[in-house]
Amino acid sequence: MKAWLTRLPDPVPDTLRTPEEIARFELSRSLPDTPVSLSVNPDLGDSFRWIKMSTGFSLSGGSAGILYGAYRLILTFLSGDDVPDAYESVPRYSLRMINCWDNPDGSVERGYSGRSLFFRNGKLSYDPARLRELARLMASVGLNVVCINNVNVHFPAQLLLEDDLPDLSRLADLFRPFGIRLMVSVDYSQPMRHGIPTADPLDPRVSSWWTETVSKVYQAVPDLAGFLVKADSEGRPGPFTYGRNHAEGANMLADALRPHGGVLVWRCFVYNCRQDWRDTKTDRPKAAWEHYAYLDGQFSENVILQIKHGPFDFQVREPLSPLLLGMPHTKLALELQLAQEYTGHQIDLYTMMPMWQEIFDELPEENIMAMAAVSNWGDDAFLTGHPLAAANFFGYGLLSWDPHTDPRRSASLWSRLTYPSFSAAQQKQLVSCLLSSRRIYEKYTAPLGIGWMITPHDHYGPNPSGYEYDLWGTYHKADRNAVGIDRTASGTGYILQYPEDLQRKYENPDTCPDLYLLFYHRLPYSFVMKDGRTLIQRIYDDHFEGEEEARAMADVLRSLPFPEEDRTVILSRLERQLYNAREWRDIINTFFHRLSGVPDARGRTIYD
Amino acid sequence: MKAWLTRLPDPVPDTLRTPEEIARFELSRSLPDTPVSLSVNPDLGDSFRWIKMSTGFSLSGGSAGILYGAYRLILTFLSGDDVPDAYESVPRYSLRMINCWDNPDGSVERGYSGRSLFFRNGKLSYDPARLRELARLMASVGLNVVCINNVNVHFPAQLLLEDDLPDLSRLADLFRPFGIRLMVSVDYSQPMRHGIPTADPLDPRVSSWWTETVSKVYQAVPDLAGFLVKADSEGRPGPFTYGRNHAEGANMLADALRPHGGVLVWRCFVYNCRQDWRDTKTDRPKAAWEHYAYLDGQFSENVILQIKHGPFDFQVREPLSPLLLGMPHTKLALELQLAQEYTGHQIDLYTMMPMWQEIFDELPEENIMAMAAVSNWGDDAFLTGHPLAAANFFGYGLLSWDPHTDPRRSASLWSRLTYPSFSAAQQKQLVSCLLSSRRIYEKYTAPLGIGWMITPHDHYGPNPSGYEYDLWGTYHKADRNAVGIDRTASGTGYILQYPEDLQRKYENPDTCPDLYLLFYHRLPYSFVMKDGRTLIQRIYDDHFEGEEEARAMADVLRSLPFPEEDRTVILSRLERQLYNAREWRDIINTFFHRLSGVPDARGRTIYD
């Protein structure tokens, strides 16, 4: 399994049973000439510190922190960075989670890296050595929870809480030595599989079924992190069926988990997915706020609301979800997506650290208490399909430890660990490609925050009107004069969900940052941007530039001395990316040219 | 199995082995009070005649003709029509074929009536009683060949010529007593399954493999009608791979079939299905002519070129394929599609007889010597999904016997046979719905012959730009000013493939029949139609009218006293049709309104 630990000399033996034992093993193998004395202090939790001694280092940390410290020391050494004489680190968030959308049949929803690492033929079925490598990768960047199954709980995933509990227990044993706890996505209607005629959270038969079931689950997996639930969303069952709100729905499950120390992670991805495109009153980005904000303060202490970073669904460019700013009395987790669902399917290079930096520019770090990200893994030889997509997994680990991790530092560290043979200049070139890749992809795809001009269902490649008359609430309503949805106070009112400073930032099209312009405003093609260009010319320019920059980036990447097996995969994906970039450029430009009738001011080819 | 023979009292026993025996059985059961004396005269082939005698009738016919005559007599009696005292009938075409697109796994490509009646789990697997009912239905309307497997030959359909020959032989035995012969779709590259490194038709290893294989096939099925081939099309293998033209490719296979009396039916559905949408030189409707017309006269005598009725692919409105007018020295078959691929999936009511009448208005009947139609059958309780879709199967039988069968007569006969309890007024209402259904569907879908504004792949429901940037060569290039492709001499030149009288009929937008206008011409929305309306207003009007007419038709159908089980299915499909009609109306109108900016002159609602 590739990624960034290729240089660790030996696999972690399955005989090691604690983070401390693994820390000792890893240090002895990776830094054989540097003695490191370890001391575990449970009070330190996930944090650690080290001090340089006359010979070697003294490392102390909590029961898991000791392992994070060991990996940090090793990675610092391997990266060639200076190793500080004294260093202390405390993770900003206590839950640093990965959500796998893996199905029991071995498929992975929105997976672009092969089949599931966890499931096959309806059962937990895996290569233990491979999962230990995965656990090692997670621990090396400080991640501590893995939710192993899809939030869309397809049968027989329900059996993880029933007949398959012994398998779940064995899997937890595998991850535990790395300081990693399991989480399970559960089906809200699961009691109905057992003769209970309802899943109403206020029905005592339902709550007592869950109480008993959770109790059995914790006998098998005493340190289970908890449950993850997608309720009342895209066809999933939930409390709305019974006229209950989501606090009532979540608290019932949370009550069952609380005695065992488990948390209930409740996703806020709830909206009307059967919208009539003729309906201009409903505005999907408003949905999460409408369903949850009024419930602030009503959730039990062990409920965590997990909120996608934007109000839509992982588009290349979305503003921050207002819900992340609107629930001061509720525990929140930020949800990111490493799987490149809308962002190139791990064919197109798309490194996410710059996007995450933008999120935390507006999101006060104390608003949330946990991080979650949808995995980009699979049984692919490179773990993440595109070898360079592993940088997102790596970067996410660092981000969830410290949300203000510098993107450049994160990319650079990954690059030096993964391709140690590169010269400093080559490292710089690779890092530059990684850090510019998101903006390049953004330029050649849907313009200026408008989103959704992607092939429906599949979500790769352009289809400018593919979602325009569909049921998903994702419309741009481009016509011969104008494009976009007015989400200001005089439009759908979405912007009113924000604090006043953000309203002011975005409400006026003359001062709204360009890249969010068509998310918030409906504007004529003749609208004059801050730099004097018209909106339509800006759209053309971005698309020509995006495609050119993709080609330039490909030239740089082709020149780098990747190991042969990486190189083969990278080059073939670059070819596909360039084809995709050209399709996007020409189709989006033609689409807007057909509507607007405005020629490119610079006379470049726009096809009829 | 429903359709139009519900009133025949008993199933045909499997002990009857010849058309004559079946004719005798059917007459004795259906017309017990009318003695009919039979005499078989092999010289009469498929034709028959009857004379009224003092008591009963004297019916003579060829070995299959005797059965067609018996059914005609029975259907005439059952329909309530006057039975002529003397009647003679000769089928216009000797091959009256059904093409099933059934796959070995039991799926049916473009099937809207359930699963295959022939295949399951990779094998021929069927209910013999049900297939005898199907054979009876075919024979009752004079059809005489059934090609049982998909022209896209998916493994293991190849085994029909190999290991599964005994099964094929038994199936032929089942159909033979009804005068029906089997045909098989073959994989042009099949020799390569047997160690031959090529499928080059001029390679002697290939031709001798086919000679031997065909010989074995005819030992098992001596009266096999022949083979059907889709070559060099949509990913199918073919002679182009080896630099051979389609005469060379077809004649080799035909040579193998000729000694056994078999025909080779060779489909002309060949075009570039990887077209770049930016390419304005290539015009898909020109493709069939370009691939075949120059080969006229070069095909062996037992080759039949099977040509779709239009130059695209079974759209609601297409002009006649010019190839049907351009190969005077080649045997041709006309291909129709009963399966409602683009015409409503047997959810929307769409009766095809009026469309077929239009085809034969331009197609001299002597230009072709055979008829083929893609089946609309499946294991559905009503055989054709929508109970009223059986009228297309029925009508096709009558059409292939006599291409100038009056659509009204065909629909009326079917209606009276199928719903004998209806009053004359109710019959008239039903027939009126059937005959108007095609024009109604046409009105609410893509306008004026432009086609292809349908959901890609699935082919149900509107998606006005769904194919616009795709690889299939099907573009309308609608922009803010104009819509359509200029296919005249000054455009792509497609029109030059027609004889001069047809060129003149269509070349001038001022005189071109309205319904073909956007097939041949690119026109501004302000173009003034013959009746004084603008093009854009005509588009709006058609869509409003189409949806209104669909509702009116639904009201009529709801009022008719269908048997309860038919009624349930018909009403639920009508609901779905009305939803679909509304979606089409609004989405097409909105699409053109966004582009043109022109409001509806009558102030009806067009959504933003």
**DSSP code string of B165-228:** HHHHHHHHHHHGGGT-EEEEE--TTGGGGGT-S---TTSHHHHHHHHHHHHHHHHH-TT--EEE
Give the integer Cα–Cα distance in Å for A70 and A36.
9
Which chain A residues are within 8 Å of B608, Cβ to Cβ? 280, 477, 479
Of A280, A481, A593, the CB nearest to B597: A481
Question: Which is the catalytic residue, given A313, A335, A348, A566?
Answer: A313
Q: For residue A394, give both structure tokens.
A: 């790596």
The arithmetic mean of pLDDT across residues A482-508, rounded, is 97
Give pLDDT, residue A226. Answer: 98
pLDDT category at A235 given cuts 50, 70, 90 is confident
CA distance A276 to chain B (A): 10
The arithmetic mean of pLDDT across residues A266-270, rounded, is 94
How big is the CA angle at B191 (ends B189 and B194), to the nearest 5 degrees? 130
Residue of A nearest to B470 (CA): A463
Q: Indicate the helix (H) or strand (E) that contains A372.
A: strand A370-374
B597/A479 CB distance under 8 A: yes
CA distance B470 to chain A (A): 9
Give the integer Cα–Cα distance in Å for B509 and B526.
13
Choose between A5 and A311: higher pLDDT.
Answer: A311
Of B465, B481, B608, the CB nearest to A597: B481
Give pLDDT, residue B3. Answer: 82
On whether any CB of chain B is under 8 Å from the CB of A455, the answer is no
On whether any CB of chain A is under 8 Å from the CB of B587, the answer is yes
On whether any CB of chain B is under 8 Å from the CB of A462, the answer is yes
Give pLDDT, residue B1. Answer: 56
On whether any CB of chain B is under 8 Å from the CB of A478, the answer is yes
CA distance A587 to chain B (A): 7
Q: Please state the ipTM of this predicted complex.
A: 0.93
Burial class (CB in 10 A: 0-12, 13-18, 19+), A105: middle
How big is the CA angle at B210 (ends B208 and B211), to the nearest 5 degrees? 60
pLDDT at A2 over 80: no
A595/B464 CB distance under 8 A: no
Cα distances from B378 to residues A523, B110, B346, in angstroms, run: 52, 11, 12
- Which stretches of A228-278 are DSSP H helices? 246-257
pLDDT category at A1 given cuts 50, 70, 90 is low
Give pLDDT, residue B234. Answer: 85
Give pLDDT, residue B5. Answer: 86
Q: Which residues lie across from A534 on neighbouring strands?
A: A528
Residue A152: closest CA among A103, A201, A217: A103
- Which stretches of A258-344 are DSSP H helices? 287-292
Burial class (CB in 10 A: 0-12, 13-18, 19+), B364: exposed
Residue of A nearest to B465 (CA): A465
Which chain B residues are within 8 Å of A466, Cβ to Cβ? 463, 466
On whether any CB of chain A is under 8 Å from the CB of B597, the answer is yes
Which chain B residues are within 8 Å of A587, Cβ to Cβ? 277, 469
Give pLDDT, residue A5. Answer: 86
Query: Tens digits of per-residue pLDDT, A557-591?
Result: 999 999 999 999 999 999 999 999 999 999 999 99
Q: Tell me if B129 sits within 8 A of B119, measured CB to CB.
A: no
Cross-sheet strand order for the sheet of B48-52? B36-40, B57-61, B48-52, B86-89
Whether B358 is catalytic: no
Residue of B nearest to A605 (CA): B278
pLDDT at A126 over 70: yes
Give the integer Cα–Cα distance in Å for A440 and A544.
11
On whether any CB of chain A is under 8 Å from the CB of B598, the answer is no
Cβ-based neighbour number of residue A301 at 10 Å: 10
Query: Tens digits of per-residue pLDDT, A412-426?
Result: 999 999 999 999 999
Give pLDDT, residue B255. Answer: 98
Cβ-based neighbour number of residue B63 at 10 Å: 17
Q: For residue A91, give both structure tokens.
A: 């993770």
One-letter amino acid of B284:
R
Q: Tell me if A237 sits within 8 A of A200, measured CB to CB.
A: no
Q: Which residues of chain B have pLDDT under 50?
A: none
Of B587, B597, B608, the CB nearest to A280: B608
Give the integer Cα–Cα distance in Å for A599 and A586.
13
On whether any CB of chain A is under 8 Å from the CB of B280, the answer is yes
Of A462, A464, A594, the CB nearest to B480: A594
On whether any CB of chain A is under 8 Å from the CB of B357, the answer is no
Q: Which residues contact B93 (CB under 8 A, 6 or more apart)?
A: B368, B369, B370, B371, B400, B401, B403
On whether any CB of chain A is under 8 Å from the CB of B278, the answer is yes
Distance of CA B214 to the CA centre of its chain: 28
Q: For residue B275, give both structure tokens.
A: 């077209």
Of A280, A477, A587, the CB nearest to B469: A587
Of B463, B480, B590, the CB nearest to A480: B480
Whether A486 is catalytic: no
Give the integer Cα–Cα distance in Å for B93 and A574.
56
Whether B234 is catalytic: yes
The arithmetic mean of pLDDT across residues A403-409, rounded, is 97
Distance linking the first and last C-alpha atoms of chain B: 47
Name the phi and psi angles at A226, rounded to 5. Answer: 145, -160
Residue A579: closest CA among B274, B467, B286: B274
Cα distances from B165 to residues B119, B144, B181, in angstroms, run: 14, 21, 15
Q: For residue B69, give both structure tokens.
A: 């005559």
Pick from B593, B594, B604 the residue to mutate for testing the A interface (most A CBs within 10 Å): B594
CA distance A463 to chain B (A): 8
On whether any CB of chain A is under 8 Å from the CB of B294, the answer is no
Give the integer Cα–Cα distance in Å for A206 and A216.
16
The arithmetic mean of pLDDT across residues A331-338, rounded, is 98
Give the integer Cα–Cα distance in Å for B4 and B418.
4
